[in-house]
Structure 1
């Protein structure tokens, strides 16, 4: 088993006034040559966006982009569909940028901050037709059990959102003292585990809120919740680039 531990306070940080952004991997002005990516996982940003503020229209291409609001309301608009679409906590949004897409993301609230994770996964196929999708995943569906959010188009799971990569994004909420064993797709994959909240022991390492650990070269690993905990798993092929 290979492990890499990323404590919350080692992430990059950018204060733009309206945006407080913490970067697990090199992004924008924060560059750490030892933290460029974890396999096909290129970006995991932990953003807090002020009311009525957000990202104006900007382009992306050849990236699988997953957005998970944790608190507040996200409003999304792109050149595939000009209407503003709301994305709420317990919903997940996916966008395959492919040949190119223009989009805007804003805080849809007049008085509440928006908290979200934005995740970029490097696709296995370039220049695909851009697409957008979103879906609700109710909290009760991850109490003590793995709730699958996103998988590959080639995966047989019919309830998850789809992206152009052999990846799997999932969540679980564990009660204090509860244990769980995560099974990987295969030894060519690794899992980046973000502790959204709580405190948990993962293969001998104690993680607190927003700590993360990357685990690879194994079939499975064990988790024990020290307090009530919420965990996000991002399983990806361990590609190099």
Structure 2
């Protein structure tokens, strides 16, 4: 009777200690590269905290068996960062937004001051005054920028269908002070035969005091003052809308 050949069970040779250490370091290097790339990819959105546990050495308590090192890998835990932390691009956007808001507030403030210090000329078109004239309460006003004597100023106003400003209502004095700048402007008031008369030949009603005893009157910042008619000043023209012919 022929005997069967004996089967010899061949076990895989155990991995030497140097080879195990080399494999261990290679895996750690791969994990490190992967972690760096992932961190760069997610840096703008999340803060990641990566904790790694290296492979247990073969034969150590709780270690993995031979041949299963690659499949086991390392244990990784990723913690989500604080999502409330502002992103880097938020800072310049916030700065630009703040600057825009400041500019808007400045524009609003300047517009409010301008409306208080100068009447709006938009009403002139409604009242039917010419371009460059300002209409208010049925009267059209023209504030010149050129300077002239009192007589020349009156002639120029007359050529425009108006006259030097005649002030017969209490609101006109404060209104014209807001309308003009700090310059002194000729008015349609002068002295004839020792008394003040408007250019429309009506008598001055002493509604406001006039300083001085000179012949022609002008408006300063705080008073109505008389001076020589030959002095050069800018002037204010006025005309009632019903008489203006400026429509």
TM over 0.5: no
TM class by shorter chain equals under 0.3
Relative contact order higher in (CA < 8 Å, ≥ 6 apart): 1
Which is strand-richer, 1 or 2? 1
Which is helix-richer, 1 or 2? 2
TM-score, normalization by structure 2: 0.22
TM-score, normalization by structure 1: 0.22
Larger Rg: 2
